[in-house]
Amino acid sequence: MNFAHLHIVLNHIPSIGTVVGVALFIASLVRKNDRLQKLSLQILVVMALAVLPTYVSGNAAQRLVRRPDVPQSLIETHQNSAMVTLFLMTITGTFSWFGLWQFRRFSRPGFVTLAGVLTFSILTAAFILRTANMGGDISHPEIRAVGAVEENTGWRFRVERFSNEQSWVWPACETIHFIGMPLLFGVVLLLTLRMLGMMKSIPYSALHRLLPLGVLGFVMNVVSGMVFFIAAPGMYFMNSGFVLKIGFILLAGVCMLYFTMFDEPWAVGPDKEASLRVKVIAVCTLSFLLGVMYFGRMLPFLRH
C-alpha cells in the first residue's frame, strides 16, 4: 500500500463524517436537543483529527499521480481546496471541542460558540465536498469536465516559495510551535500527576479549567506545523518519523477528548483516587505527547 491507496481510504472519512456532523448539529439546534448536539460536536472534533492524515497523505499521493493524462492544474486546484478545508476544519474542530468543554463546565455552550460551529462547519462541509469532487475528477477522467480548470491555478507553490524566501516565516512558526507544545504538555503533565495520586487536594473540576490552554497549544502546533509541511513537503511525507508523529498526535487528541467528555474523571474530587482506567488513559496521553515530541525532534535523522 502506498500513499495514494491510503489517501483513497482516508478521504471518505472526513468527507462523509463532516456532512453527517453538520446535519446532526443543525437538527440539534432546530429540535433543541442537547444529546444530539453533543453527538454532533463529538463527530466534528473527530473529523477535525481525521482530516490531518487525510491532507498529509493527499500531498504525498500527488507525487504518485503525475501522469500526462492528469492535468497538473487540476491536481493543484484540488490541493488548494484541500488546504483551505484543513484550516476551516481546524477552526470548526476547535469551536466544537470548546462547545463540549462548555457543556461540562456550564451545562450548555454559549451563543458565540454555537454560532462559530454553525458558520465554520457549513463552510467546511462545502469545501470538503468541493475537494472530494475534484479528487474524483483526478481519478476518473470520464467525469472530468473539459476545460473546467485553467492552467496555473495553483497557489500552493507561491505559499511554499514565500515561506522559504522570507527569512522571518520559519523562525516565527518555530516560536509559535515551541510555545504551543509547552502549553499542551504542561496541562497534560498536571492532569497526569493528579490522576496518579499527586496534588490530592485539587479536584479534577479545577484542572478541567486548564484544558482550553492545552487545546490552544494543540491548535498552535497544528497550524505552525502545517506551515512547515507546506514549505517543505518532501522533507516530511517520506519520513517514517513524521508518520509516527502524526499517529501519536491523533492518539493524544482522542485521549484529550476522553477527558473532555466522559464522567469518570469528574468523579475525582478532593482527596479522591482516580480509577485505574482514568490513570491508564492519563499515562497514555502523556506518553503519546512524549512520542510526538521525540519523533518531531528526530525528523532530520529519520529521512530516507
CA R_g for the chain: 20
- Cα–Cα distances (Å) from 57 to 1, 85, 243, 287, 297, in that order, read 12, 14, 10, 25, 21
Contact between 256 and 96 (Cβ < 8 Å):
no
Instruction: Give the model confidence (pLDDT) of 180-218 as tens digits.
Output: 999 999 999 999 999 998 988 999 989 999 999 999 999
Q: Hey, what's the cell of 54?
A: 487525510
For position 98, what pLDDT does the model report?
94
Q: Integer distance in angstroms from the first to the last C-alpha of the chain?
A: 18
Shared domain for 168 and 303, answered yes or no, is yes
Shared domain for 115 and 74, answered yes or no, is yes
For position 77, what pLDDT does the model report?
77
Which of 93, 79, 66, 77 shows the shortest CA–CA distance to 11? 79
3-state secondary structure labels for all residues of 258-272 = HHHHCCHHHHCCCCC
Shared domain for 202 and 225, answered yes or no, is yes
For position 151, what pLDDT does the model report?
46
Please state, in angstroms and rounded to a whole number, the distance separating the CA atoms of residues 88 and 174: 22
Shared domain for 112 and 90, answered yes or no, is yes
pTM: 0.86
Shared domain for 231 and 300, answered yes or no, is yes
Task: Tell me how many domains the chain contains.
Answer: 2
Shared domain for 304 and 170, answered yes or no, is yes
Sign of CA dihedral 217, 220, 222, 225: negative
Please state, in angstroms and rounded to a whole number, the distance separating the CA atoms of residues 77 and 242: 25
For position 304, what pLDDT does the model report?
59
Shared domain for 163 and 130, answered yes or no, is no
Shared domain for 54 and 84, answered yes or no, is yes
Shared domain for 180 and 51, answered yes or no, is no
Q: Which helix (H) or strand (E) holds 273?
A: none
Residue given cell 433543541 in the structure block:
32
Q: Which of 138, 154, 170 is the last residue of a domain?
A: 154
Q: Which of 154, 184, 209 is the last residue of a domain?
A: 154
- Cα–Cα distances (Å) from 292 to 9, 187, 217, 233, 249, in that order, read 24, 15, 13, 18, 6
Q: Which of 154, 170, 192 is the last residue of a domain?
A: 154
Shared domain for 1 and 65, answered yes or no, is yes
Q: What is the DSSP letter of 203?
A: -
Shared domain for 223 and 120, answered yes or no, is no
Which of 231, 123, 120, 126 shows the shortest CA–CA distance to 170? 231
For position 164, what pLDDT does the model report?
80
What range does the domain containing 124 cover?
1-154
If the chain, 304 residues long, is cut into consecutive pieces of 10 residues, what is the mean pLDDT of each piece?
67 89 96 94 93 78 61 72 88 95 90 95 92 70 52 63 83 92 93 92 91 92 86 76 88 90 88 92 95 88 71
Q: What is the DSSP letter of 232?
A: -
Please state, in angstroms and rounded to a whole number, the distance separating the CA atoms of residues 57 and 20: 23
Tell me the CATH number at 25: 1.20.120
Shared domain for 197 and 246, answered yes or no, is yes
**Helix segments in 203-239, DSSP class H:** 204-208, 211-231
